[in-house]
């Protein structure tokens, strides 16, 4: 789990830059300062119909600061990390603070509240940066070939792409915090296309991703699954309008959990942009629903050893068996609400705000297949489109596609329908949760079943 020597050297250099900037700010007599400095590398390649379509590789670096003087706050950022450039940058930022409006609630955490040690979460894969464009293109081409090989009904490809990224960052504050972190991520995506009657094109999309290269599924498996999904959608049509049970597969379910995540953030609550704003301690979902935010998952896509203000982080149960227990708060939103910060800050060195880490619906004991049992007629959702959600009321309505459920089995493919129900009612209508939770993204969910939703079709 130890970082490579090369990474430690990068972090040491970034820490030196951060401390130089803090010293420069101190010379201007500021009351408080936060400095975030980082460097990142990325590669993105794609192919279409076997031909190279894109090769993009880049490296970036930058520094941002937030400073306070007499309750006046300024934030700014720069890509010039030379000593002369940083001194001029600091002087301009101090001038910005002098003309800003006072905001006493923007004061930093007490230095005693800052963490001095934290766990290593195994977030950096040394192999990631060694994957060059040639290797990435070979993987994308292999995945696309596998899609065509999987079925003769695959007639085209919308492309296959591989991407990787790595980053090193340092957060330093005048309160005495100095944190170093690094991380990697890579993914492989394929979109195959099958022909349907009337010249319609039916796409099938599948992807794999993870912090470590070894976590990725084989390119051939990714391409084959994309093809199978495209073929399965041939003959897709609307279903009759009605109020029916709906099963969300784990990818579609993740979208629902993401809506809840946005409603438990302190910023949304104090701005009165969340229907959950006054609901702590009350029932907001069914007893099957336990929602967790856990920044300490090893190799987790959203894991972090400390928050964006230097506070300790911990696993938090946001909703336990249907009862809302807490919001996720940074220092500012906690003060606005008269609550205690939860170590959920992002935006260190810039405008602080609350954010999720690894936010997920806890897995149940049911198998995904068992969610269909007992449904005489319903909808199995594999994909949702659009953004029909009002966080202030909870009203939810989105386009969807998937499969018709008849007599406990998936039958024909469905598309062109809209599903709707208030999110508050939807969560309380969850009557079964599956055991297929996977962490490919920082928002995750197993498949689950909702007792009833309005499906608008024919």
Give residue-wise pLDDT tens across range 192-237. Answer: 999 998 889 999 999 999 999 999 999 999 999 999 999 999 999 9
- Residue that has been written with the tokens 């998937």 in this structure: 402
Are 438 and 296 in contact by the 8 Å Cβ rule? The answer is no
For residue 87, the model assigns a pLDDT of 97
Cα(first)–Cα(last) distance of the chain, in Å?
Answer: 55
Are 372 and 405 in contact by the 8 Å Cβ rule? The answer is yes
CB under 8 Å to 214, separation ≥6 — which residues? Answer: 125, 127
Instruction: Return the H-helix or E-strand segment holding 16.
Output: helix 5-26
Give residue-wise pLDDT tens across range 342-401. Answer: 999 999 889 889 999 999 999 999 999 999 999 999 999 999 998 899 999 999 999 999
Are 127 and 213 in contact by the 8 Å Cβ rule? The answer is yes
Report the C-alpha gap between 394 and 279 in whole angstroms: 13
For residue 26, the model assigns a pLDDT of 95
Give residue-wise pLDDT tens across range 295-345. Answer: 999 999 999 999 999 999 999 999 999 999 999 999 999 999 999 999 999
The bridge status of strand 448-456 relative to strand 242-248 is antiparallel
Determine the average pLDDT of the residues in 169-190: 97
Report the C-alpha gap between 394 and 397 in whole angstroms: 10
Give the ranges where 57-184 is alpha helix by DSSP (H). Answer: 83-98, 133-150
Report the C-alpha gap between 456 and 246 in whole angstroms: 13
Report the C-alpha gap between 412 and 272 in whole angstroms: 43
Whole-number average pLDDT of the chain = 96
- Could you say which DSSP state residue 394 is in? -
User: Among candidates 66, 62, 108, which has minimal Cα distance to 90?
Assistant: 66
1-10, 133-142, 426-435: segment of lowest average pLDDT: 1-10
Report the C-alpha gap between 194 and 81 in whole angstroms: 51
Report the C-alpha gap between 54 and 48 in whole angstroms: 9
Indicate the SS3 state at residue 264. coil
DSSP 188-254: EEEEEEEE-GGG-EEEEEEEEEESSGGGSPPHHHHHHHHHHHHHHTTT-B----EEEEEEE-HHHHH
User: Among candidates 328, 332, 345, which has minimal Cα distance to 262?
Assistant: 328
For residue 79, the model assigns a pLDDT of 97
Residue 233 to residues 151, 372, 411, 412, Cα–Cα distance (Å): 13, 19, 11, 8
**What is the pTM (predicted TM-score) of this model?**
0.96
For residue 122, the model assigns a pLDDT of 96
Q: What is the dihedral of CA 46, 48, 52, 55, to 10 degrees?
A: -20
Give residue-wise pLDDT tens across range 353-362. Answer: 999 999 999 9
Q: Name the pLDDT band for 1 (thresholds 50, 70, 90).
A: low
Are 244 and 377 in contact by the 8 Å Cβ rule? The answer is yes
Could you give the domains of the chain? Answer: 5-229 (3.30.2290.10), 236-458 (no CATH)
The bridge status of strand 178-195 relative to strand 154-173 is antiparallel
User: Among candidates 445, 139, 185, 429, which has minimal Cα distance to 302?
Assistant: 185
């Amino acid at each position: 789990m130890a970082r490579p020597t090369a990474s430690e050297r990068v972090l040491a250099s970034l820490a030196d830059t951060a401390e130089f900037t803090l010293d420069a700010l101190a010379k201007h007599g500021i009351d408080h300062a936060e400095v975030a400095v980082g460097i990142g590398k990325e590669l993105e390649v794609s192919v279409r119909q076997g031909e190279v379509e894109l090769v993009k590789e880049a490296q970036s670096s930058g520094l941002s600061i937030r400073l306070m003087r007499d309750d006046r706050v300024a934030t700014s950022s720069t890509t010039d990390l030379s000593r002369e450039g940083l001194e001029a940058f600091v002087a301009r930022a101090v001038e910005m603070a002098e003309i800003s409006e006072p905001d006493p609630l923007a004061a930093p955490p007490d230095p005693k509240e800052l963490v001095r040690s934290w766990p290593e979460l195994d977030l950096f894969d040394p192999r990631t940066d060694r994957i060059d464009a040639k290797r990435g293109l070979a993987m994308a081409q292999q995945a696309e070939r596998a899609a065509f090989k999987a079925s003769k009904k695959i007639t085209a490809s919308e492309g296959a792409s591989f991407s990787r990224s790595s980053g090193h960052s340092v957060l330093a504050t005048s309160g005495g915090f100095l944190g170093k972190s690094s991380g990697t991520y890579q993914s492989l995506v394929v979109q195959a296309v099958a022909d349907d009657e009337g010249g319609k094109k039916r796409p099938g999309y599948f992807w794999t991703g993870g912090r470590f290269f070894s976590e990725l599924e084989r390119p051939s498996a990714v391409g084959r699954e994309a093809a199978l999904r495209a073929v399965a959608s041939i003959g897709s049509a609307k279903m009759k309008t009605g109020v029916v049970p709906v099963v969300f597969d784990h990818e579609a379910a993740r979208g629902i959990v993401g809506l809840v995540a946005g409603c438990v953030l302190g910023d949304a609550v104090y701005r009165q942009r969340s229907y959950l704003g006054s609901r702590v301690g009350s029932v907001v979902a069914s007893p099957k629903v336990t929602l967790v935010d856990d920044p300490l998952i090893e190799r987790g896509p959203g894991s972090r050893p400390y928050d964006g203000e230097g506070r300790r982080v911990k696993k938090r149960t946001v909703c336990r068996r249907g009862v809302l227990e807490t919001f996720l708060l940074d220092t500012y939103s906690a003060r606005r609400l008269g609550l205690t910060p939860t170590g959920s800050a992002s935006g260190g060195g810039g405008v602080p705000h609350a954010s999720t880490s690894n936010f997920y619906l806890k897995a149940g004991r049911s198998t995904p297949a068992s969610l269909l049992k007992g449904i005489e007629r319903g909808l199995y959702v594999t994909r949702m489109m659009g953004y029909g959600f009002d966080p202030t009321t909870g009203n939810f309505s989105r386009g969807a596609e998937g499969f018709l459920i008849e007599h406990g089995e998936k039958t024909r493919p469905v598309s062109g329908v809209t599903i709707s129900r208030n999110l508050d009612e939807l969560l309380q209508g969850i009557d079964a949760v599956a055991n297929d939770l996977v962490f490919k993204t920082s928002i995750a969910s197993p498949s689950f079943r909702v007792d009833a939703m309005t499906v608008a079709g024919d």
